[in-house]
Structure 1
Amino acid sequence: MTSIFQILMLLIDVAFFIVIAHIIMSWLINFGVLNLNQPIVAQLWDGLNRMLEPVYGPIRRRLPMMGGLDLAPLIVILALYVTEILLRNNVAMFL
């Protein structure tokens, strides 16, 4: 059963990495460091958006409008941390 716990922790780590990559890439695009006219950048950006939009969409609909500030990634990161804490505190269930 510890393998299930380890797999869940790995999935949380991968999800966290994907969200962080999306945040950093959005900053680089907005500051003009990356150009969406480059095919590799456009493919990566499209892939990250397709993965994360089903997660961000419902969160964005529930959050109030904050102008140009998008708090959906922050909520997702907090939810991932909360899930990780809950799993670590209840690791006895997996033993």
Structure 2
Amino acid sequence: MQILLEIVYYLATVLTWIIVIQAVLSWLVAFNIINTTNEFMRSVLYALDRITAPIYAPIRRIMPDLGALDLSPLVVLLILYIIRNIIIPNLMMSLA
């Protein structure tokens, strides 16, 4: 059971980094620092979107529309923080 919790912990860590990288890249695209006509960058952005879109979708349905401001990555990061730093350590302590 402890190995399963460690796997969930590491997957949450990887997902956190994916969300942060996607946010930074989207800001760079918005400020025209990264050109989306570059095939490599377009494929990276597409892959990140394919990974995160199923995670953001339920949160976007619940949250009100704020126009161009999308808070779903922030909500997902908060949930991942709670899972990684509160739930998993408490479960590990109870198993020890």
Separation in structure 2 between the aligned mates of residue 88 and residue 3 of structure 1, nearest angstrom = 13
After superposition, residues 19-34 of structure 1 pair within 5 angstroms as 19-34=19-34
The range that moved more, 1-10 or 54-63, is 1-10
SS in structure 2 of the partner of residue 52 of structure 1: helix
Superposed displacement of residue 35, structure 1: 0.9
Partner of 1:91: 92
SS at match of 1:90: helix
Query: Over aligned residue pairs, what C-alpha RMSD do you find?
Result: 1.3
Amino acid at match of 1:64: P
Q: Cα offset for 1:93?
A: 4.2
**CA displacement at 1:8 relative to structure 2:** 1.7
Amino acid in structure 1 at the alignment position of 2:26: S
* TM-score between both structures, scaled by the size of structure 2: 0.90
Q: Can you give the 5+ residue segments of structure 2 that lack an aligned partner in the other structure?
A: none
Offset at residue 2 of structure 1 (A): 3.1
How many residues get paired? 95
Gapped regions of structure 1 (runs ≥ 5): none
